[in-house]
């Protein structure tokens, strides 16, 4: 057991890329921060999509995080990239971790131990209400360190076979992490990029995920993230969180009407691709509620001495 794994730390992982990990981390973080709770995002992906695309932050390209994994250097987040939201940026500097992990056994380097201790040091100074960790595709040694660091695991997937197989791979890695002493708990699987009107197909997909999770004690989240390609493009290209997109979209609608009235069509700025990002923002809001209530239930279960 390593009970020192920081409470309220949630890893979002699936070895398959393009299943919504980064989008979900950014959206959950922004929703929780907007509700007045303090959030830390750790971007443990070389591609740094959360850092640069979703949140629009330059960062140190993962150098700080890489130094903390290798040498237990203190973690220094970028403060307040949004109100209540701090960020440990990701990036290319994390690429060395795989190579280092191969030699770690000989050199006595303990990536997981280093990350757990530096994150605990940070947490005892900052008291974040939630720590969200994004992870990249592949990169097994780093993923194993993250599975040994976080308390909870959330696995997003699309509904195609390749993504669902990714869930199975990750479930196997998760079980291995627990065998190796991690106390991480699978919180659930989130379906991402689902067609909200596919009323015949979707129950089938949920059933498939339930079957995949059988015996794990976890269930798919009731909330799924709907397909909204136009909103997804706006979010990334403008570095907006879902709530910010809703605000920008409403403001644009207002000024458009005003400018059309003024017959000053030349002044119209570049339009958003999305017509109504509210549905997608509501999905993320509902998912946030579900995630927080599952964490609360798991904590209650721990306090009452229930089995994890
Ligand atoms: N609601 C959505 N519907 C359709 N595509 C989306 C949606 N949200 C995000 N995307 C797009 O899906 C792709 C993968 O998302 P991303 O969060 O980067 O996944 P991962 O982190 O697992 O690689 C990105 O191109 C993103 O813009
Ligand atoms: Mg990603």
Query: Residue 130, SS3?
Result: strand
pLDDT of residue 3: 52
Question: pLDDT grade, residue 100 (50/70/90)?
Answer: confident
Average pLDDT, the chain: 92
Give the residue-averaged pLDDT of 274-302.
Answer: 95
Segment among 117-126, 156-165, 257-266 with least mean pLDDT:
257-266
Q: How many structural domains does the chain have? A: 1
Give the residue-averaged pLDDT of 194-222.
Answer: 92
Question: pLDDT grade, residue 305 (50/70/90)?
Answer: low
Q: Note whether residue 254 is domain-resident.
A: no
pLDDT of residue 181: 95
Give the residue-averaged pLDDT of 198-206.
Answer: 94
CA of 255 to the centre of ligand 2 (A): 34
Question: pLDDT grade, residue 19 (50/70/90)?
Answer: very high
CA of 223 to the centre of ligand 2 (A): 20
Nearest ligand to the C-alpha atom of residue 17: 1
pLDDT of residue 185: 96
48 with 59: CB under 8 angstroms? yes
Report whether pLDDT(2) > 60. Answer: no
Q: How many CB atoms lie within 10 A of CB 78?
A: 18
CA of 141 to the centre of ligand 1 (A): 24
Q: Note whether residue 21 is domain-resident.
A: yes
CA of 227 to the centre of ligand 1 (A): 9
- Bin 193: left if φ > 0, else alpha if -120 < ψ < 50, else beta: left
Q: Note whether residue 279 is domain-resident.
A: no
The verdict on the CB of residue 48 being under 6 Å from ligand 1 is: no
Q: Note whether residue 156 is domain-resident.
A: yes
Q: Note whether residue 244 is domain-resident.
A: no
Token output for 75: 């973690």
Q: Note whether residue 281 is domain-resident.
A: no
Ligand 1 atom at shortest distance from the alpha carbon of 23 = 17
Q: Note whether residue 72 is domain-resident.
A: yes
Give the residue-averaged pLDDT of 165-172.
Answer: 91
Question: pLDDT grade, residue 1 (50/70/90)?
Answer: very low
Name the residue range of residue 127's domain. 9-228+291-303
Token output for 70: 């290798």
Rounded CA separation 273/278 (Å): 13
Rounded CA separation 200/291 (Å): 26
pLDDT of residue 306: 57
Nearest ligand to the C-alpha atom of residue 191: 1
Whichever domain contains 86, its CATH number is: 3.40.50.300
Report whether pLDDT(148) > 90. Answer: yes
Any idea what the Cα angle at residue 201 is, between residues 198 and 202, rounded to 5°? Answer: 80
Q: How many CB atoms lie within 10 A of CB 220?
A: 20
13 with 184: CB under 8 angstroms? no
Q: Note whether residue 29 is domain-resident.
A: yes
Bridge partners of 152?
Answer: 10, 185
Give the residue-averaged pLDDT of 87-112.
Answer: 88
pLDDT tens string 236-252: 999 999 999 999 999 88
- Bin 91: left if φ > 0, else alpha if -120 < ψ < 50, else beta: left
Report whether pLDDT(308) > 50. Answer: no
Ligand 1 atom at shortest distance from the alpha carbon of 233 = 27
Beta strands 185-194 and 225-226, pairing class: parallel
């Amino acid at each position: 057991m390593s009970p020192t794994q920081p409470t309220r730390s949630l890893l979002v992982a699936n070895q398959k890329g393009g299943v919504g990990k980064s989008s979900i981390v950014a959206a959950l973080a922004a929703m929780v921060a907007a509700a007045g709770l303090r959030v830390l995002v750790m971007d443990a992906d070389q591609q740094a999509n959360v850092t640069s695309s979703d949140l629009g932050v330059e960062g140190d390209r993962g150098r700080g995080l890489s130094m903390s994994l290798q040498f237990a250097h203190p973690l220094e987040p970028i403060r307040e990239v949004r109100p209540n939201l701090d960020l440990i940026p990701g990036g290319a500097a994390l690429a060395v971790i795989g190579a280092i992990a191969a030699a770690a056994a000989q050199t006595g380097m303990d990536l997981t131990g280093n990350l757990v201790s530096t994150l605990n040091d940070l947490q005892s100074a900052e008291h974040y209400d939630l720590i969200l960790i994004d992870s990249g595709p592949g990169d097994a040694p780093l993923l194993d360190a993250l599975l040994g660091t976080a308390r909870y695991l959330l696995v997003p997937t699309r509904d195609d076979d390749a993504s669902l197989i990714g869930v199975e791979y990750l479930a196997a890695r998760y079980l291995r992490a627990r065998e190796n002493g991690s106390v991480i708990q699978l919180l659930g699987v989130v379906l991402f990029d689902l067609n909200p009107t596919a009323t015949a197909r979707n129950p089938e997909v949920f059933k498939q995920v339930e079957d995949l999770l059988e015996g794990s004690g976890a269930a798919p989240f009731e909330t799924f993230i709907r397909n909204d390609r136009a909103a997804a493009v706006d979010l990334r290209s403008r570095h907006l969180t879902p709530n910010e997109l809703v605000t920008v979209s409403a403001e644009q609608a207002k000024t458009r009407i005003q400018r059309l009235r003024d017959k000053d069509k030349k002044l119209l700025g570049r339009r958003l691709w999305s017509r109504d990002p509210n549905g997608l923002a509501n999905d993320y809001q509902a998912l946030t509620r579900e995630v927080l209530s599952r964490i609360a239930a798991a904590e209650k279960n721990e306090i009452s001495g229930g089995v994890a």
